[in-house]
Structure 1
Amino acid sequence: MATSSRQKPPILHVIDEEFVPPDRGDEQGGPESAVPAGDPDEAVRLFHHYRRLMAQILGYEEELPGPASEEDLAEAEEKLGVPLPPDLRALYAIADGDGDLINPLFDRQEWLPLAEIDDLDDEWLEIAREWQYEPWRQTVFDAWPPNAVRRSPLRPGWIRFACDTGGNWLAVDMDPGPDGRPGQVISVGVDCTYGPAYIADSVTTFLRRLVEALERGDHRCHDESLWIDADLPERPGEHATYIGGPPSREQAVQAGPRVQEVRVTDVEDCAFLAAVPDVRSLALSSKGSPDLTPLGGLPVEYLELDGESLDLTAPARNRELRSLSVTCARPVELAPLRSAPHLWALDIAAATVADIATVTELKGLRYLEVTQDQWRELSQLDDLPPLAVIGIHPHRPERDWPLSTAWVTVDEPPSPAV
């Protein structure tokens, strides 16, 4: 018995296995100041004081491993391809990591020996980039303060020197953004879903905050562990999202400029977007035909639109637009997308498209999501973009938020008669 199209699973055809979504961090410039903010002498002083305070609170002092030699440091820097910041380097000259301490020195995060900092398991990142997890819908947000850290999931210049054993690390950033400083401390890993978090301008400052927390009594003992409340910055995702109906003026103002992800339902008027000028991931749902004019001036990179009727003219004027998903009952015109210079991902599987041949003119497209009927029509056209991944649904999908699809992935291009 033949299988009907409605029983077939959606297929994700991976044509170019080497392609990964563009890294926005590569597009950012370097720092104005190439001088690290840390002070190695101050870091050493704070380190010893911090150790004395911990011993006083715990009632005992734990023994550290021996120091790393100058040869060890030089060898590690050669393998890393970048130098350690002077303050962290000075600490390794005191001890080569935590060893077997009950209380890791960097606030419950184990300080790694030099031999381990260039040999870390990055399976978490490889999994996140697997196409079935839809990385084209993921946006790396800006840390706070803005432009200090490059908007990347991971970079060679981020030297991870401490870990929580759960797939998260503290790193010294030797490749900072335009408003950052070399040697600043950031947090990266599986829990930084929205991107890296800025912690301090240096290891020196990080230690100073730990010392100050102990001195003011902001700590508690849990079993044998010392928990320190150093009032460090939170990960960006914890204050990044607004979800709900159109916000009132007060709600929008309260959300503030740090909001970088917005999903709003029952949209009629998009004027509220003026209160979230830093939004980078935006999902709008409407039962009618909303005025999308305010989108043209926003730094939106991932845009998800669901409406009865949609005009893509204003969204296409946004030079930051990278990925677009359209759900639309009435025919939508793709022609305005010719002016979106960085658009590389397009999902039109849940849209009725008036001018599907426009896809051939979108030469920057690397990802395309369509229905089986749409692909049949496109495959008859000449000069398609150099697509790396094509997602094909057997029929028009029903869209629920958050968008996700139970893809079956194959490493081969689709046939015209798929």
Structure 2
Amino acid sequence: MDLGEIGRTLAERLRDWAGDGWSEAVLQISMGAWGSVEAWTDGSDRGNGRDLLDAMHGAYPRDHPPAVYEVRLRADGAYRFTTSPDVDRLSPARRVFDPDFRCPQRPSPGMPRPAGAEPTSAPTDPAVLREVSALVAEFAERYTAITGHAPDWEPGRSEEEIAAAEARIQARLPEDLRALYRLIGRDSGETGLLGYFAHDSLDTVVEDYHYSWPGAYRGAACDEPQYRAGVVFEAVPPGRIKRVSRNDWWVSFGGNHSDQWIAVDLDPAEGGRSGQVIEHGDEVAQLIASSVTEMLTDVVTALRAGRFTRHEGDPRLEVQAAFHDVPYKNHVLLVRDVAKLDLTAEIGAEDPEAIQSCHLSDGIDVDLAVLERLDGLREVGAHRMKTVVPNVAGLPLLESLTITAEQTDLNALSGHPTLWDLTLSGLAHPVDLTPLATLPNLTRLTVNGLDIPAIDQLARLKGLRVLTLDASQLTRLLASGNRLPQLAALTISGRVLLAEAVEFLRQLRGTDVRLEEFTGSLGPSV
């Protein structure tokens, strides 16, 4: 299907979806990594729900190169179909200028391999193999006595097979994990050998390692766009696991099939240990055990003490191993309806070591100095407030701040050493951005919808890499002669037509932005 055929098909589908009572309808489809389908008319608002997706299903090839499509259709059947591969998304319009840029604590592939992790031809350490063999044998004996049958394990792998897998990931696995694979190729029956987790085959280890980017990541996908990537929180317990969103040298080797994975960490933080086992399915990673051997020991110890559950007909043992009792500290504090609460008392009741993110909502006047007891905060949000005083000097680790209020004074932010992400919205007064020039690490800024008289102040933010504006603000910025060449990504909020987005990009970068256009007519609606 060529572009002209795609445009006509989309125009036909758009007319069928739009119904009656309009003079122009618009359809926008983004086909990049973060696709979207949006449509509206100048008549009644039909919304952009499931009916729109159903209406457009199959109208364009899913394997077409990344691009955005737009159809503008008149009621008389005339349409204009435009497409561009140089705009990442529309409504809001987005463009990544520097795909290699990464927000803080979100490293790209290519992290140096830690010393001692080089693959070698040496066989598995015999002493470690003996220790792991004894633990596995005892588990198998106790499992058989409890269930009446031997555990369903795949045969172990040879030294050559393990070495071949290591060559593909370019790292030597910890000796105890190698020993586990020598004995058991895969815990296909999820028997409980590693508690609630089970280890995968070596083939799966290699496949998972190279999925998307090398290594493992936690939370959202490791290639999350610059305009969405949030703060990376400190892992639990602190100081053991590096505070990064992904690591080339986290090697996943199993999980519990509930979006929780375990990995051996070959690149620990200063207080950690190479070969430690981490769980990385949640936004905050946590340490499971100092080694695979420790996990096996905990499981066998639990079986000896009778700390297990078995359900009739289920071959698995639910073993209450010690590593399942690692305390998880909820890192997010949500305080709703602030206007009706004693905020000082609410904050005072919290464990300051556990909270890394705090969001307040529905208040009148709030001074963020009230949060100073929670001095480990990295993210703060104040939503639907009348006045916010952003006194955050007492939050030395703060990285991200969101203020949605009628009034605020940015002077209170002056000089904050770690703040890199700032979102302002709802302000009912003109905004002076001058204080933001004192923030040494300000990297991402969202100010769409605000009255910023001196919009050229944005040019003074030399470290700014990711920016969200509305079309009116961007028009004024360009008229001031500023192009912000350092930007890695730009979002233009609201409904933006493709021709407008292309013109903005042409002015910003002074280079050609591709745009193809087709016109046609469907004829009057029958």
Q: Name the counterpart of 2:317.
A: 226
For structure 2, the 5+ residue unaligned runs are: 1-22, 27-39, 43-89, 118-124, 496-500, 509-526
Q: What TM-score, normalized by structure 1, do the two folds share? A: 0.81
2:173 to 80, 84, 90: 84
Q: Which amino acid aligns with 2:239?
A: N
Please give the root-mean-square deviation of Cα atoms over the aligned residues, in Å. 3.7
1:143 to 224, 235, 238: 235
- Is it true that 1:24 corresponds to 2:105 in the alignment? yes
Would the alpha carbon gap of residues 102 and 179 (structure 1) be closer, same or farther in structure 2, given more than 3 Å must change?
A: closer
- Superposed CA deviations along residues 176-205 of structure 1, whole A, max 9, x for unmatched, are 12221111101123xx1x232221111122
Offset of residue 69 of structure 1: 1.7
Tell me the distance in 1 between the aligned counterparts of 2:368 and 2:115: 39
Would the alpha carbon gap of residues 253 and 173 (structure 1) be closer, same or farther in structure 2, given more than 3 Å must change?
A: same
Q: Which amino acid aligns with 2:276?
A: Q
Tell me the distance in 1 between the aligned counterparts of 2:238 and 2:502: 39
Offset of residue 72 of structure 1: 1.7
- Is it true that 1:64 corresponds to 2:160 in the alignment? no
Would the alpha carbon gap of residues 253 and 178 (structure 1) be closer, same or farther in structure 2, given more than 3 Å must change?
A: farther
Would the alpha carbon gap of residues 127 and 333 (structure 1) be closer, same or farther in structure 2, given more than 3 Å must change?
A: same
Offset of residue 3 of structure 1: 7.8
Tell me the distance in 2 between the aligned counterparts of 1:367 and 1:3: 31
CA contact (8 A) 1:253 1:275 kept: no
CA contact (8 A) 2:93 2:492 kept: yes
- Is it true that 1:113 corresponds to 2:201 in the alignment? yes
Tell me the SS of whatever aligns to 1:135: coil
1:367 to 466, 469, 488: 466
Tell me the distance in 2 between the aligned counterparts of 1:47 and 1:109: 15
Tell me the distance in 1 between the aligned counterparts of 2:91 and 2:459: 23
Query: Highest Rg: 1 or 2?
Result: 2
Tell me the distance in 1 between the aligned counterparts of 2:449 and 2:327: 31
Offset of residue 324 of structure 1: 0.9
- Is it true that 1:336 corresponds to 2:435 in the alignment? yes
- Is it true that 1:261 corresponds to 2:350 in the alignment? no
CA contact (8 A) 1:152 1:195 kept: no
Q: How does 1:15-414 map to 2 (within 5 A)?
A: 15-16=96-97, 18-19=99-100, 21-24=102-105, 26=107, 40=128, 41-98=130-187, 100-101=188-189, 103=191, 105-120=193-208, 122=211, 129-131=223-225, 135-136=228-229, 138-189=230-281, 192=282, 194-222=283-311, 223-224=313-314, 225-232=316-323, 239-244=330-335, 245=338, 247-249=343-345, 251-265=347-361, 266=363, 267-285=365-383, 287-295=385-393, 297-327=395-425, 328-380=427-479, 381-394=481-494, 414=505
CA contact (8 A) 1:309 1:331 kept: no
Offset of residue 373 of structure 1: 0.7
Identity of aligned residues (%): 25
CA contact (8 A) 1:46 1:208 kept: yes
Would the alpha carbon gap of residues 258 and 165 (structure 1) be closer, same or farther in structure 2, given more than 3 Å must change?
A: same
- Superposed CA deviations along residues 6-40 of structure 1, whole A, max 9, x for unmatched, are 9797323223372453251659x99x9989xx982
Tell me the distance in 1 between the aligned counterparts of 2:502 and 2:174: 43
- Superposed CA deviations along residues 319-342 of structure 1, whole A, max 9, x for unmatched, are 222211012222222222223233
Offset of residue 413 of structure 1: 6.1
CA contact (8 A) 1:142 1:151 kept: yes
Q: Name the counterpart of 1:403.
A: none
Would the alpha carbon gap of residues 24 and 102 (structure 1) be closer, same or farther in structure 2, given more than 3 Å must change?
A: closer
Offset of residue 305 of structure 1: 1.1
- Superposed CA deviations along residues 116-154 of structure 1, whole A, max 9, x for unmatched, are 21112746978574549x523x22211111121122332
Would the alpha carbon gap of residues 166 and 253 (structure 1) be closer, same or farther in structure 2, given more than 3 Å must change?
A: closer
Offset of residue 394 of structure 1: 3.9
- Superposed CA deviations along residues 263-309 of structure 1, whole A, max 9, x for unmatched, are 01325232331221111121024744433223454312221012332
Tell me the SS of whatever aligns to 1:232: helix
Residue-pair matches, total: 393
Would the alpha carbon gap of residues 340 and 237 (structure 1) be closer, same or farther in structure 2, given more than 3 Å must change?
A: farther
Q: Which amino acid aligns with 2:186?
A: G
Tell me the distance in 1 between the aligned counterparts of 2:106 and 2:444: 18
Q: Name the counterpart of 2:91.
A: 10
Q: Which amino acid aligns with 1:392?
A: I
